[in-house]
Amino acid sequence: MEQNGHFGTHQFSDADEHARSLVNFEQRYFQIEAGKFKSTMTQCDLDGLRLVRERTSHRVSQQGRSPADVYTIGLPVSAPSPATFQGRPLEAATLLQLRGGQEFSLHTPADTELVAIVLPEHEFGELMEYLGGAGSVAWLRAPTMQAGSATAHRACSAIRACFAHAEQNQDLLTVPAVRKALRDQIIEHLLCVLTEGETPGQPDVTRLAYSRIVKTCQEFVLANSEQPLTVTDLCQALRVSRRTLQTSFTEVTGASPAFYLRYMRLSAVRSLLRSTGATLTIRDAAAYWGFIHMGNFARDYFRMFAELPSQTCRRN
């Protein structure tokens, strides 16, 4: 982490590199929209409580698992259209939540900003005691909660304001008393949000099914990198019709399954080129993910990332 060890901001031009910068999270990001990707990851460490803000320029598919010993709550997403978390749309007053060690799937549109609080699990347990114990909180069993009340809205705004104060006064974060004061404020606002949290309505069962199909397809593609899979292969593996597959991907990711497959494979090649450097040729990296015609591959790669494969290698 840059600056004084408590606050850092990093900018990225690769979605997967951005994903790896989030401390302790096991996750992968796939850019699923053509164009030059740009993102910013800002993290603030307040002695165990971590504030995270990420901004991404393009549509991204995020898959991963949270650390085993933390609770994560994401404030309402700022985006031009709803994101999808665990198959559920994130509307204006919807918060996402992750318990320790939980797998997650998040699809965000272009120009998305997400602010999250990562809290030690034992501290979250203490907050639950204030609310009457985890067993009495209905929304805790769902991946999202509603914070539609004016009080909850003000508390979310106050948490964002705390983040802004930390960013504007990074030099003061070296002082333990400042970190404690800021941490206490955030915990107080978070408790307000949790107190006002409401159980979300019944999920759209059809949309949940679409989300599971997309997630299973993604896992299947990553597990079979040695063969260039087609839409027909995915239909056969999942035993679903082409129409169902098409609808699932369009609803959840905003892209057709054919485009999504190509985006995933191109992103995987890019990740290989960035991680292996000069030890792997462009031709070998492309072949590993089933690209045979190098001219077509280079053209598609440029359309996707606004740079040639050779430029990716040189930049590393």
- Of 80-89, 273-282, 296-305, give the range with the top mean pLDDT: 296-305
Q: Are residues 249 and 191 in the same domain?
A: no
- CATH code, 164: 2.60.120.10
Sheet containing 103-108: order of strands: 26-31, 60-65, 103-108, 83-85, 88-90
Q: Measured in Å, how far apart are the chain's first and last C-alpha atoms?
A: 20
* Chain mean pLDDT for the chain: 89
Look at residue 128 and tell me if it is in a domain.
yes
Domain range for 245 is 205-315
Look at residue 156 and tell me if it is in a domain.
yes
Domain boundary residue, one of 147, 178, 196: 196
Predicted local confidence at residue 199, as pLDDT: 79
Split into its structural domains, the chain has a count of 2
Q: Are residues 212 and 127 in the same domain?
A: no
Task: Indicate the pTM of the whole model.
Answer: 0.86
Q: Are residues 258 and 168 in the same domain?
A: no
Average pLDDT rounded to a whole number, residues 193-204: 82
Does the pLDDT at position 278 exceed 70? no
Q: Are residues 89 and 12 in the same domain?
A: yes
Q: Are residues 181 and 307 in the same domain?
A: no
What separation in angstroms does the CA of 77 have from each of 166, 172, 266? 20, 28, 27
Predicted local confidence at residue 60, as pLDDT: 93
Look at residue 2 and tell me if it is in a domain.
no
Look at residue 1 and tell me if it is in a domain.
no
Token pair of 5 as six digits:
């060890």
Instruction: Give residue-wise pLDDT tens across range 136-172.
Output: 777 788 899 888 778 888 899 999 999 999 999 999 9
Q: Are residues 63 and 212 in the same domain?
A: no
Q: Are residues 85 and 129 in the same domain?
A: yes
Q: Are residues 163 and 209 in the same domain?
A: no
Q: Are residues 38 and 167 in the same domain?
A: yes
Look at residue 56 and tell me if it is in a domain.
yes
Q: Are residues 180 and 58 in the same domain?
A: yes
Q: Are residues 307 and 188 in the same domain?
A: no
Greatest CA separation for the chain: 63
Domain boundary residue, one of 162, 196, 230: 196
Outline where the chain has alpha helix (H): 15-20, 121-130, 150-168, 176-196, 205-223, 231-238, 242-253, 257-276, 282-288, 294-305, 309-315
Token pair of 154 as six digits:
């003000």
- CATH code, 268: 1.10.10.60
Domain boundary residue, one of 196, 213, 232: 196
Average pLDDT rounded to a whole number, residues 6-20: 93
